[in-house]
Structure 1
Amino acid sequence: MDLRHEAPLPFRHPDKFYIGGHWVRPASDGHIDVIDPSTELVAYTTPAAGPADVEHAVATARTAFDDGPWPTMEPIERAGYLRAIAAALRRRTDDFAMLWSRETGAVYSEAVAALATPPQIYEFYADLAESFEFVEHFPDEEEDGIRLQRMLVREPVGVVAAILPWNGTTPMIAMKAAPALLAGCTVVVKCSPEAPGAGQIMAEIAEEVGLPPGVWNAITADRAESEMLVRDHRIDKVTFTGSTAAGRRIGSICGERIARCTLELGGKSAAVVMDDYDIAAVAKVLSNTWRWGGQVCAALTRVMVTESRHDEIVDALRSEFSGVAIGDPFDSTTQMGPLSIGRQRDRVEGFIRAGIDEGAQLVTGGKRPAGLDRGFFVEPTLFARVDNASTIAQQEIFGPVLAVVPAKSEEHAVELANQSAYGLNASVFTNDTERAFRIARKIRSGSVGHNGFRTDWRIAFGGFKDSGIGRECGREGLYPFLEPKTVVLEAHP
């Protein structure tokens, strides 16, 4: 096992929270053991926020918004801080990547590559400060001899609770914090108990770039304390990424007190394969299903293909799913590391049993890899002849499991793609671009790609149906952190 599993932590204050511009000791002695999924050993121990810590973070963020300089700064001034955050994040790429691998089992080389995006997100919103209309002017009108100036002013929504998942903390923080900061909001970043490291480093960066006290507050907490954040009337908006079940809970609480919320939830994304497209090329794309251990909400996990080509695509996929190099995420030859959490592996194995019990054909995988007795490993798993109404076709597995669903026709394949409670992502495989566009418009999904796994954070990301409410990234990702205010002024000479 690579020695980086035992490397010193890249934290300056491993036993403290960042609240109000200071590193503070927790109010209680609660702690969380963060488990390395490759070794099943404790990677490090971090403090667990209790009720008093949540109260402290929220009160500080509230004061910073109500009385501090941040909301009243010009957007272009706030943009300077975003650029500084991006630069600092790049300097610490290795720290983020090392933690991503040790906390979640992500392949180190893939983590390094993925970490090119978060700084770009901060820079995207910094650039947006120059073009976005925070004050939109409308033509003057006259009323009873008085000339009226009319405008729409977009103001920060207030204090934001950013509640993070464990599978991709650094990018998720960027998607939430960058637009919130540009808008003029203050934030409480709440990391998951399974992967809190990125939140700790981002707090160090917030301190380094000199964000005003209380603008960025960071804690790690479990569900009960997370719910305290959601229920607190001083939190104006909740932005959450995670399971649909947790999203329902958060949405219902926000609804009770009319709090704003953005929910990026689960997916069961479909790859719709038309008969004119090369099967080998489809199979190569769908190998993404097992990358990152399949723990990607937008992963294409269902394949809709006509009966006449079903066996052909299964044969091509078998070669992509068999012989995958599984092991230590720091090993340069590893293609897939372990799943992130023991209970997640148990859950994935439960779905595999359900697929077999419900009559799907297990083509390859489905077991724990031979020779890996320690670590949360599971083989990439391929099922064929899957009933679209079955458990493995309808429920989000969040693991390296792909289901191939035969369709009566190409039109039926599109219908099957929409027969899901989810609508996060999809892809259409065809050589005809105009046809791909027509089909994309029929699929009820927040993103639809063509001949590949294609989403674009520069435009927007989010889902239909049970996959969530609202959008993150791009210009669309800024609007949820702004409240529009109509202002009509008398224009006197």
Structure 2
Amino acid sequence: MLQHDRLFIGGDWVAPAGTAMIDVVSPHTEEIIGRVPDGTPADMDAAVAAARQAFDNGPWPRMSMAERAETVGKLAGLYAARQAEMAEIITLEMGSPITFSQLAQAPQPLGMLQYYSELGKTFAVEDERPGMFGPVTVRREPVGVVAAVVPWNVPQFVIMTKLAPALIAGCTVVVKPAPETPLDSYLLAEMIKEAGIPDGVVNIVAAGREAGEHLVSHPGVDKVAFTGSTAAGRRIAGICGEQLKRCSLELGGKSAAIILDDCDLGAAMGFLSIASLMNNGQACVAQTRILASSSRYDEVLQAIADMVSAQPVGDPSEPTTGIGPMVAKRQQERVEGYIKLGIEEGAKPVVGGLDRPYDRGWYVAPTVFAGVTNDMRIAREEIFGPVLSVIEYDDEADAVRIANDSDYGLSGTVWTSDTDHGMDIARQVRTGTYGVNMMNTMEPSSPFGGYKASGIGRELGPEGLSSYLEYKSIARLG
């Protein structure tokens, strides 16, 4: 068992204010595999105070960006050496198939550290522009203390979309991991300390909703960076709006994969299996609406059904596993509730359904629905599990209309033998990320975020760094 009895605050391992503990339960065995302190509002106060002290009086914001980039580069080197360990911990605590953890859960956070450590060496902190009465210097300064509130599905990935640019910008950070997945953050804390990042610059307190809302509402926090459900995002946006506090929100999705008539289905299915079922379907960018033309609907439906049926379901630690368990029993029940709802709405499960693959573990049967219309709840609401809806369209204009007929706008794909034509389709779909014959894998150099209810702001790329900076204009005569 991985057991911790301290919190990472002010650069040290400190005793928590309370006595409650978080039991980390394996989604595969339903057995306790770890235990950490359950952070309280008092712990959040201590973490914010440490971050505030480090920002107001410490060396980190006063170093040059290039100097901070060098230290972040050291952290990247330490992270690279412990990638395998990080992947194993994430698979253990949340059930991500080990192959996905090895390909994405650990390497992508490393890629962000590497990208921002390089960007920080050349990013212009000041530039001069001509003004009406004389030159104007535009200066970029760190926004301040950041509250990074992250979910359980890709915990390190989401931490790093916030932490890496915030560190380069010169901010200090309080990270609140989800109670389902706190173990990976302890490994990260060890590396942060070893990298020589000054005390108080990064503080990590795993906690539930009450302490999380206390952190978001804290007057010592200058910016909130949140990834999670749209409902929680609305609550956080309301709090930040009342306080005129900066916030960035990366929220839900209900993305559409448009299969054009000239698509080579055999070639597409291998990529689409990742795009639609990655991380056991627990991905905000998952392509869960499959749009097929009326002329090829049956053919596409069969290809999707065969692709899903071929995914081995089981122990996430086994390299052969394609789909593991849901993160928690409540998530298992939520996904099964949507499968039941889909049947009640008149959709037909051609693969999967309500029979569980195993008696033990929080597994659901990967499910493909036929006969789905875009007004059904299973086509409009984020299920966050391995449930796909195959929706018929009349022509390409109808496909684009259906893709855009959503409260969300996070991701999407188009599958075609004509890449240029695919680009034309991509320009018409209102989402923050898109892929032509591939899944947009959230490149560290490119902005990531969504339209509509999928969020506010962008992460990654220079745009992600800018969201942790305040812009100051200094005019002068002479």
- Report the TM-score range of the alignment, normalised by the length of the smaller protein: over 0.9
Q: Does 1:290 align with 2:277?
A: yes
Deviation by residue 1:403-434 (Cα, 9 ceiling, x = unmatched): 00001222111100000000000011222233
| Distance of aligned partners of 1:455 and 1:98 in 2 relative to their CA distance in 1, 3 Å threshold | closer
Q: Does 1:51 align with 2:41?
A: yes
Find the residue that maps to 1:213 and give its secondary structure: coil
Q: Does 1:484 align with 2:471?
A: yes
Q: Does 1:79 align with 2:69?
A: yes
State the Cα distance separating 1:131 from its structure 2 match: 2.2
Q: Which blocks of at least 5 consecutive residues in structure 1 are unaligned?
A: 1-7
State the Cα distance separating 1:369 from its structure 2 match: 4.0
State the Cα distance separating 1:33 from its structure 2 match: 0.8
Supply the AA of the counterpart residue of 1:332: P
Larger deviation, residues 39-48 vs 176-185: 39-48
Q: Is the 8 A contact 2:109 2:156 kept in 1?
A: yes
Residue 221 of structure 1: aligned partner:
207
Residue 5 of structure 1: aligned partner:
none
Residue 93 of structure 1: aligned partner:
83
Q: Distance in 2 between matches of 1:107 and 1:74?
A: 40
Find the residue that maps to 2:159 and give its secondary structure: helix
Residue 201 of structure 1: aligned partner:
187
Deviation by residue 1:284-329 (Cα, 9 ceiling, x = unmatched): 3322223311001101000112111110101111111114211111
Residue 15 of structure 2: aligned partner:
25
Residue 3 of structure 1: aligned partner:
none
State the Cα distance separating 1:140 from its structure 2 match: 6.7
Q: Is the 8 A contact 2:100 2:278 kept in 1?
A: no
Residue 156 of structure 1: aligned partner:
142
Residue 260 of structure 2: aligned partner:
274
User: Mapping of 1:57-456 within 5 angstroms?
Assistant: 57-114=47-104, 115-139=106-130, 143=133, 148-288=134-274, 289-370=276-357, 372-456=358-442
Q: Is the 8 A contact 1:83 1:126 kept in 2?
A: yes
Deviation by residue 1:325-345 (Cα, 9 ceiling, x = unmatched): 111111232221111111001
Q: Distance in 1 between matches of 2:402 and 2:152?
A: 31
Supply the AA of the counterpart residue of 1:443: V
Supply the AA of the counterpart residue of 1:220: A
State the Cα distance separating 1:249 from its structure 2 match: 0.5
Residue 4 of structure 1: aligned partner:
none
Q: Distance in 2 between matches of 1:332 and 1:281?
A: 23
Q: Distance in 2 between matches of 1:456 and 1:91?
A: 23
Deviation by residue 1:182-231 (Cα, 9 ceiling, x = unmatched): 00000001100000112111111111111111101110110011001111
Supply the AA of the counterpart residue of 1:117: Q
State the Cα distance separating 1:84 from its structure 2 match: 1.0
Q: Distance in 1 between matches of 2:442 and 2:27?
A: 30
Q: Distance in 2 between matches of 1:369 and 1:324?
A: 15
Supply the AA of the counterpart residue of 2:248: T
State the Cα distance separating 1:109 from its structure 2 match: 2.4
Deviation by residue 1:40-74 (Cα, 9 ceiling, x = unmatched): 11111110111210110011111111111111110
Larger deviation, residues 150-159 vs 455-464: 455-464
Q: Distance in 2 between matches of 1:302 and 1:267?
A: 11
Percent identity, aligned pairs only, is 45
State the Cα distance separating 1:489 from its structure 2 match: 2.7
Find the residue that maps to 1:290 and give its secondary structure: helix
Q: Distance in 2 between matches of 1:135 and 1:304?
A: 47
Q: Distance in 1 between matches of 2:399 and 2:477?
A: 59
Q: Distance in 2 between matches of 1:176 and 1:98?
A: 22
Q: Give the root-mean-square deviation of aligned CA atoms.
A: 1.4
| Distance of aligned partners of 1:140 and 1:417 in 2 relative to their CA distance in 1, 3 Å threshold | closer
Q: Which blocks of at least 5 consecutive residues in structure 2 are unaligned?
A: none
Larger deviation, residues 69-78 vs 117-126: 117-126
Q: Distance in 2 between matches of 1:286 and 1:346?
A: 26
Supply the AA of the counterpart residue of 1:357: E
Supply the AA of the counterpart residue of 1:467: S
Q: Distance in 1 between matches of 2:247 and 2:308?
A: 38
Q: Distance in 2 between matches of 1:62 and 1:427?
A: 42
Q: Is the 8 A contact 2:41 2:215 kept in 1?
A: no
Deviation by residue 1:95-137 (Cα, 9 ceiling, x = unmatched): 2112111111111122112122212211111111222111011
Q: Distance in 2 between matches of 1:287 and 1:48?
A: 37
Supply the AA of the counterpart residue of 1:232: H
Larger deviation, residues 401-410 vs 282-291: 282-291
**How many pairs are equivalent?**
475
Q: TM-score, normalised by structure 2?
A: 0.97
Residue 39 of structure 1: aligned partner:
29
Larger deviation, residues 124-133 vs 65-74: 124-133
Q: Distance in 2 between matches of 1:355 and 1:89?
A: 43
Find the residue that maps to 1:362 and give its secondary structure: strand
Q: Distance in 2 between matches of 1:385 and 1:395?
A: 17
Find the residue that maps to 1:127 and give its secondary structure: helix
Q: Distance in 2 between matches of 1:33 and 1:169?
A: 17
| Distance of aligned partners of 1:291 and 1:138 in 2 relative to their CA distance in 1, 3 Å threshold | closer
Larger deviation, residues 437-446 vs 156-165: 437-446
State the Cα distance separating 1:378 from its structure 2 match: 1.1
